[in-house]
Structure formats: C-alpha cells, structure tokens
C-alpha cells in the first residue's frame, strides 16, 4: 500500500496526521498535508485507510 495527498485538494484540516501520524504530517513550513514516501508499513495500513476515508475532501489516495 502507498498513500499520497492531492496537494491542490487538501484543506489542511489536520485530521489525517491525528488519525495516522506515522504516515501523514503537516509540514512545519505550512501547506498541504504530506504522506510518507514509499510503502506504508503493514501495522499502519488500517489507520492510513481510515484517514483516507475520513478526509473531508477526499484528498488522500491509497493505492493497494
């Protein structure tokens, strides 16, 4: 599984880093949420999926 955030869609609500901080973060410099590069570790996949489903603007794309 990989995760990415559609930068132009994210409204920086902060929900995804709250649900799954191991994968998603809001940069200190501001701007849209980011997802960690590469494969999401198996132990964080359920939370990453939950974050994607919870994003209010559907900005998180999960690829299995």
The binding site for ligand SF4 (CB under 6 A) comprises: 5, 10-16, 24, 33, 55-57, 59-60
What does the angle CA 14 – CA 17 – CA 18 come to, to the nearest 5 degrees?
80
Minimum Å gap between C-beta 39 and ligand SF4 is 19
Print burial letters for 49-61: b (CB count within 10 Å at least 16), e (below 16).
bebbeebeeebbe
Minimum CB separation of residue 23 from ligand SF4 in Å reads 10
DSSP 50: H
Smaller CB distance to ligand SF4: residue 21 or 41? Answer: 21
Q: Which is nearer to ligand SF4, 38 or 56 (CB)?
A: 56
């Amino acid at each position: 599984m990989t995760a990415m955030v559609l930068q132009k869609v994210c409204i920086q609500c902060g929900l995804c880093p709250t649900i799954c901080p191991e994968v998603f973060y809001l940069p200190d410099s501001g701007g849209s949420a980011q997802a960690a590069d590469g494969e999401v570790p198996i132990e964080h996949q359920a939370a990453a999926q939950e974050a994607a489903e919870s994003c209010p603007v559907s900005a998180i794309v999960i690829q299995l």
